[in-house]
Amino acid sequence: MMQIEDSVFSPYQTFSREEWAKLRDLTPLPLTEEELEQLRGINERISLEEVRDVYLPLSRLLNLYVGATQKLYQATDTFLGKHAKKTPYIIGIAGSVAVGKSTTARVLQTLLSYWPNHPKVDLVTTDGFLYPNEVLEARGLMKRKGFPESYDTRRLIKFLAEIKSGFKEVSCPIYSHLSYNILPDQQQVIRQPDILIVEGINVLQANRDRSGGSMPQVFVSDFFDFSIYVDGEESNIRQWYIDRFQVLRDTAFRNPDSYFHRYAELTREEATETATQIWREINEVNLVKNILPTRFRADLILTKGAHHAIEQVRLKKL
């Protein structure tokens, strides 16, 4: 795994959890334990203490960034003699499968909505921009679901371009983890939020055109005002994936409508073996080849320890 040098040559400032927690200043903790329980992902152990130490300072930083960006847009429109359009501040969240991106996104969405100057915070996951299973099957990509080629990136970029252009309504597809497919007749409608959080494993990728063409390329991350990478050691993430698989075996997989219902009757040992095989053949390959190399493109890196708690924060220098 690549390392970031903690020196004057590093693009990041590094904070221990204790150092980062002090930057909370006087930001109040608005969540209760019951509310946090609703935000936790499967097999997540996030605590109110972690919200206070890590996510409250982050929400304070983002609040300052959003305010500064709003003023910059207003200044530019004043200069150009235009009426200022409402342009959402877009935050991208990346990281491996099972690392806790979704919980990070939901907690941030909730905390940011408490700040008075940007109360409307929407969340979109890039799962909705996966090609439908029938398309993936036709292209021989079902075992590469989650890899860059399994996403309709053109559609995702169009969606973000319309958001940044100030469209009053923009729709995007909805993905069902139960059926493991796009819901054909359902759409999520985004109506000019103050902040839009975009969460997905590959949102920081910047793959170059291999055709040799000279046309400029547009990447998903070009539309982000701020980006976050949720990090952890590969061995830890693998174990979190296996643990989550075990929980799903006892819960969601037991639903007859679940795409993975066939795993519900596995013994614990068989489930561990199956999850490990899936990790090695699919998720580990995707992490090493596609996801991990994007880590240093993030503005902020949240690094988790073995117990799923964030232990270190790296903030990119301006």
249-290: pLDDT as tens digits = 999 999 999 999 999 999 999 999 999 999 999 999 999 999
Q: Across residues 235-253, what is the average pLDDT?
A: 96
Looking at residue 8, its pLDDT comes to 59
- 129 vs 228: CA distance, rounded Å: 20
Tell whether the model's pLDDT for residue 140 goes beyond 60. Answer: yes
In a domain, 100, yes or no: yes
In a domain, 283, yes or no: yes
In a domain, 6, yes or no: no
Looking at residue 216, its pLDDT comes to 57
Q: Across residues 30-52, what is the average pLDDT?
A: 88
Q: Is 138 helix (H, G, I), strand (E, B) or coil?
A: helix
**Chain-centroid distance, C-alpha 171:** 19
Looking at residue 211, its pLDDT comes to 47
Looking at residue 44, its pLDDT comes to 78
How many structural domains is the chain composed of?
1
Q: How far is CA 188 from CA 56, 88, 123, 168, 171, in A?
A: 28, 16, 10, 14, 6
Looking at residue 117, its pLDDT comes to 82
In a domain, 3, yes or no: no
Tell whether the model's pLDDT for residue 305 goes beyond 70. Answer: yes
Looking at residue 270, its pLDDT comes to 98
Tell whether the model's pLDDT for residue 55 goes beyond 70. Answer: yes
Please calculate the CA angle 37-40-43 and round it to the nearest 5 degrees: 115
Distance linking the first and last C-alpha atoms of the chain: 25
Tell whether the model's pLDDT for residue 86 goes beyond 80. Answer: no
Q: What is the CATH number of the domain that holds 184?
A: 3.40.50.300
In a domain, 307, yes or no: yes
Confidence at 242, pLDDT banded by 50, 70, 90? very high
- 182 vs 188: CA distance, rounded Å: 12
Q: Across residues 203-222, what is the average pLDDT?
A: 72
In a domain, 81, yes or no: yes
Confidence at 84, pLDDT banded by 50, 70, 90? low
Q: Across residues 23-33, what is the average pLDDT?
A: 89
In a domain, 254, yes or no: yes
What is the maximal distance between C-alpha atoms in the chain?
67
Higher pLDDT, 143 or 206: 143
pLDDT digits (tens, 9 = 90+) for 108-133: 999 999 998 888 999 999 999 999 99
- 242 vs 238: CA distance, rounded Å: 6
Confidence at 164, pLDDT banded by 50, 70, 90? very high
Domain span including residue 22:
12-316
Beta partners for residue 94, in sequence order: 229
pLDDT digits (tens, 9 = 90+) for 92-108: 999 999 999 999 999 99
- 253 vs 262: CA distance, rounded Å: 8
- 278 vs 127: CA distance, rounded Å: 19
What proportion of the chain, given as a percentage, has pLDDT over 90? 79
In a domain, 1, yes or no: no
Which residue is listed with tokens 């605590």?
47
The answer to whether 86 touches 192, Cβ cutoff 8 Å, is yes
Looking at residue 7, its pLDDT comes to 54
